[in-house]
Amino acid sequence: MRSKKGVFTKSVQDKTIVVTVYTYKNHPKYRKRFRTSKKYQVHNPENKKFEEGESITFYETRPLSKLKKWTIETPTNTKTD
């Protein structure tokens, strides 16, 4: 089971949140590191409220909708800016 750690971005609809995951990649030619981000729509079954910037861990599940294939695991109450 794959899991990822990201930052809470926004609450889309009922029981759905958007989590942004930041990763670092190297440029193929110049070898400079740069930061990339990807947004995931995550299922929030208990419909918990989060503040922007909270760290969230989520794992892969069966497809719940067209874009929702992840479920929240544990909210970490640390705010990252």
Q: Which domains does the chain have, with CATH numbers?
A: 3-79 (2.40.50.1000)
How many angstroms separate the CA atoms of 5 and 73, rounded? 10
pLDDT in tens, 12-29: 899 999 999 999 999 999
pTM here?
0.85
Per-residue model confidence (pLDDT) at position 34: 97
How many angstroms separate the CA atoms of 33 and 57, rounded? 24
Picking from 60, 61, 77, the residue whose alpha carbon sits closest to that of residue 3 is 60
Judge contact between 64 and 12, C-beta under 8 A: no
Whole-angstrom CA distances from 71 to 11, 24, 50 are 14, 24, 15
How many angstroms separate the CA atoms of 72 and 81, rounded? 20
Query: Which pLDDT tens digits describe the chain residue by residue (81 residues)?
Result: 899 999 999 998 999 999 999 999 999 999 999 999 999 999 999 999 999 999 999 999 999 999 999 999 965 666 655
